[in-house]
A and B are shown apart, each in its own frame.
Chain A
């Protein structure tokens, strides 16, 4: 992507006026997106992102600069300007690159870029037809398809020189059902780090039907109750609860400066015994996986919590300096326009030994959250919220009527201790996660969990 000689020259320029570490990140990415509305392709967009980010450290301070002009003279000039901005002590660096040949673990059989748009459109039509034909109350269906191939080169003044290729594809069906003027939505997606071969393995009609089923079910739902209840959160995207309630608070981004409720708690009990959680960037072809993180460190499987005890944070190089701890291969960024920082990759709560049926049976009055929507967290106070897309009442040990408009709120510390049962039906899901280094694909997953008490915000009048 850039020649070694030039990369070295840019890194040396970056250290010419000050700094003790310099890094270059070159990104070349091709994106495709298609939107189909009510069975007709309405929008297609494709294009190429290309840019270079240069970062310099001096102790705990850093400078970041980016450009999309890859002219060698410009790059050296940009690096020099950044070096001046750092006001550090000039260093006479000598850089010998150790080439890390790319032995990709995440093999892509069919690069989506090589697949004709018509094939993608046919695939979208299948999802549309399944959703639209599901029920006469379904009156609108939107199918979105995206894919991209991102090539990166990451090199630094410690001699690191790696290249990586990340392929992603995602397929989403959103269905709107209408009855007596009331409208409800159901939205289901599948994302992956596989190539187009993903679509040989999954049934997109199922995604369409499922979106339509959720929308139609929610049409019949009554307002969710308000108050504190035991809640069973099902697998797949249910993992967003751990992502929001705890995951963000374990990122060095908030831990390093003491802005997390989990700062200073390594080795301490922060969750109930049944909770073991990992962040694993090595899962084959998963949504949040890569061979290297965005600082060029190989990704790995980090055990965050083991039987309730906090084992590790997720750490990037810069925050690692402040924390006096090495990187955990967790640095990520949306693009060259963002300096990397510690982020989640694929974050999972691992299987326990309880049975789903036993969880439901153990509840007299509570909520079953089958599909969750998104949420957010304030890592300093630990307060989180997330929306329930498809929920049901649990009454006398049985799942009964659907309820709509439920939001779950609480604090991370509290909810981790209230996880009472963990079942054995682990499945993963995929989301987009937004934070200071941009919006990135984040894998999530868990088995069904029973939380003894969560505040449920619903519309049913008290």
Chain B
């Protein structure tokens, strides 16, 4: 049905004078369950889809999208794509991919997931809630106790020979307990993610959520100081991911990335190797082709501190005279093409995180940042972020700390990392599906 409408659209588009045309069609199904006080208090079931249409007209790229696919929608798409191409002033050459290249097959769709019992999924949440409340009397209630299951498929077809599709699914359960003691209130997050519901671990969720929230009870600010800092793996992944735009060739070419002209140069301490692997098994952002249908491939972006490549799509690659790195991205069918990594991680080191903490006489172990969307400047690299964690005294973790900020500059920080731990961990809270080990920096400014 949808292919029929696409065919009709391409026919009409050709008559309108478009030299090339492409459709990116996305469909998704979602199930979300929330349990509160032993009952399902929210239940969401949905199916939706949308079509992104882009055309080349007079050498310019015009975009339009729709969530309806009837004949009226086809006419709207044609009109809007035409009108949008007409006002483009950029002189960059634009392309559509012809489907060439080697596509690595990635088979990570689990057809069983949506058939697994909804009653079992509900019971899982009911048990997480009661087990968490039984875990410690200071756990008063759960502000979130959710299960989410998403299945989505993509289809990209164009008039240049490209015709690719893929399908993926995942499930995620998470809980956030509210803990209270002596008038102090804290929260913590526990989650597990995968594509087999029966493989999700309620034990992991309960333990992580309870430890994180209870551990922060009684946290206080500390006096402003400059000291050595260890940043926990997931927190570092979130911070790093907030700066991911600096690797985008698009931003480099527009003079809004400080990495302009830095290929082949040291941009980080030699402990840092940054790897993008779109073919990782069991990862959240794996795919055999990017949002322009170009085949993806694993690569090193930073190797022992040296910047090896930017992230390219077709347009930005042509501008720099290189090949697309298969990093074209599209937030959804409503977006235009940008650049983004797939699964990305910093290669872990060889020492346990305890050794990093053990090397510090007086400092701070940061376990989480807040306000990452606001407290940092991706252009200058400056950041000043609310964070929480623990004091480190004589190589040991001490009292919990909150209501402090850590300030610095991301580029200086990358160079100042002196040790990285062996505890690589991926974060679902980061902008990208990013993993990092814990890291140590000798000097950071803390305000309290």
A residues bordering B, Cβ < 8 Å? Answer: 31, 34, 36-51, 60-69, 81-82, 85-87, 117-118, 121, 139-140, 142, 176, 178, 182-185, 223-224, 226-227, 254, 257-259, 261, 337, 339, 373-376, 378, 380-383, 385-387, 404-407, 409-411, 455-462
Q: Is B382 an interface residue (CB 8 A)?
A: yes
**B141 in complex: contacting residue of A60, A223, A258, A386, CB < 8 Å:** A258
Q: Is the CB of B384 within 8 A of A458?
A: yes
Q: Is the CB of B379 within 8 A of A226?
A: no
Q: List 22 A-B contacts (CB under 8 A).
A: A46-B83, A47-B77, A67-B47, A86-B43, A87-B40, A117-B83, A183-B256, A184-B380, A227-B224, A380-B187, A381-B186, A385-B371, A405-B384, A407-B375, A409-B404, A457-B386, A457-B406, A457-B407, A458-B384, A460-B445, A461-B226, A461-B445
Q: Is the CB of B42 within 8 A of A456?
A: no
Q: Is the CB of B44 within 8 A of A34?
A: no
Inter-chain CA distance A339–B65, complex, in Å, is 23
Q: Is the CB of A226 within 8 A of B403?
A: no
Inter-chain CA distance A249–B374, complex, in Å, is 19
Q: Is the CB of B76 within 8 A of A48?
A: yes
Inter-chain CA distance A65–B383, complex, in Å, is 40
Q: Is the CB of A185 within 8 A of B377?
A: yes
Q: Is the CB of A457 within 8 A of B258?
A: no
How many Cβ-Cβ contacts under 8 Å join chain A to chain B? 248
Inter-chain CA distance A382–B187, complex, in Å, is 11
A contact face: mostly helix, strand, loop, or mixed: strand
Q: How far is the CB of B254 from chain A (nearest CB, A)?
A: 6
Residues of B within 8 A of A39 (CB): 89
Q: Is B39 an interface residue (CB 8 A)?
A: yes
Q: Is the CB of A407 within 8 A of B46?
A: no
When C-beta atoms are compared, the residue in chain B nearest to A227 turns out to be: B224
Residues of B within 8 A of A82 (CB): 45
Residues of B within 8 A of A386 (CB): 371, 374-375
Q: Is B364 an interface residue (CB 8 A)?
A: no
**A257 in complex: contacting residue of B36, B39, B84, B384, CB < 8 Å:** B36
Interface size class of B (residues with CB under 8 A): 35 or more
B contact face: mostly helix, strand, loop, or mixed: strand
Inter-chain CA distance A60–B41, complex, in Å, is 6
When C-beta atoms are compared, the residue in chain B nearest to A41 turns out to be: B89
Residues of B within 8 A of A226 (CB): 224, 405, 407, 445-448
Inter-chain CA distance A254–B258, complex, in Å, is 40
Residues of A within 8 A of B335 (CB): 45
Q: Is B134 an interface residue (CB 8 A)?
A: no
Q: Is B221 an interface residue (CB 8 A)?
A: yes
Q: Which segment, of B66-74, B237-245, B264-272, faces chain A?
A: B66-74
Inter-chain CA distance A258–B406, complex, in Å, is 31
Q: How far is the CB of B92 from chain A (nearest CB, A)?
A: 8
When C-beta atoms are compared, the residue in chain A nearest to B53 turns out to be: A47
Inter-chain CA distance A405–B386, complex, in Å, is 12
Inter-chain CA distance A459–B384, complex, in Å, is 7
**Given that A42-B90, A185-B377, A459-B407 are contacting pairs, would A48 and B68 also be in contact in the complex, using a CB cutoff of 8 Å?**
yes
